[in-house]
Amino acid sequence: MRQTNYQGALQQPIGSGFNATSTTNDVIKGIDLKGKVVIVTGGNAGIGLETTITLANAGATVIVPARDVEKAKKNLEGIENVEVETMDIMNPASIDAFAEKFLASNRPLHLLINNAGIMWVPLRRDSRGFESQLATNYLGQFHLTARLFPALKKANGARVINVSSLGHQMAPFNFDDPNFLDREYETLQAYGQSKTASNLFSLELDNRAKAFNVRAYSLHPGSIAGTELGREASLELFQKMGFLDADGNMLPEVAARLKSIPQGAATTVWCATTNTLDNIGGVYCEDVDIARLANENSAGAHGVELYSLDESNAKRLWDLSEQMTGIKFQIS
């Protein structure tokens, strides 16, 4: 019986040869993706754009679903092997329409990179009443992956990469009130539980799908300069997080830890392409390697929390996700 990563059984660095300063160019060197089909959500901005460019330049056909197709086409102009399609990750009907169009093409899907996300936004709800960070950062991942699973199976060697965050340490998943109906909304708690959910999904998906040669991974890209993710966060929130001083200036120690966009996308590209993960799945990665458990990290800043690798939490979340989305995720 192949080992799973429940309770962090596989959460140990494997000596990838890369580190926090490694870039996408370092990771993709020598890798040929000709004939591979890839979908990258959020693939027209930030680390998603860097991921798209890197994989397309390595020969893959990269499909970028986007809410604003014209903006996506402008950002992706001049990049070969890229297709842009319409999809709003917060709109279930839009996800279904995109997936149906892709499945109708009869192409296998070798890599599904669930990169799209939002962070630290005011309380908003989607059309179903679900809190927006949970809907975007997790439920959209679950929905899209479920709909595309026939194409992932067809690839006979596919990977699902869920871009999570160190922010999962801000909150476990709240099964009693995931949508902040009976508790005061706190944006960091909402963000944290959405990323914990992404980790639990990767863990359970890998366990269920590996029999069909589909493996799943979650990852922390790092704190990255030059993205739009925190654009709605207040000055006070950044100060509360310890990023800015009383005058609104970034603290030098924070600036020193920031990654460039090519460094931030490196772990995604590594999880998607390295052969060192061929027989390992369900793990949480950071700095271009498998991460340690958080309580084993002496610095106390990085690593993955055990509650986001817990078997019972993962199975419970899977069932809840099917209930919330109304989708029966057919693995067999």
User: Catalytic positions, please?
Assistant: 191
Q: How far apart are CA 150 and CA 144, in angstroms?
A: 11
Cβ-contact 46, 228 below 8 angstroms: yes
**Nearest partner of 50 among 284, 257, 289, 227, judged by Cα:** 227
CB 177 within 8 A of CB 130: no
Query: Using CA atoms, how far apart are residues 227 and 235, in angstroms rounded to an integer?
Result: 17
Handedness of CA 48, 144, 108, 287 (dihedral sign): positive
> 66 - beta bridge partners?
86
Interior CA angle at 297 toward 21 and 266, to 5°? Answer: 25
Asked whether the beta carbons of 318 and 6 are under 8 A apart, the reply is: no
Output DSSP code: residue 258.
P
3-state secondary structure of 39: strand
CB 111 within 8 A of CB 60: yes
Instruction: Describe the strand order of the beta sheet including 289-290 as a list of residue ranges.
Output: 82-86, 61-66, 37-40, 111-114, 158-163, 214-220, 284-286, 289-290
DSSP H or E run through 63: strand 61-66
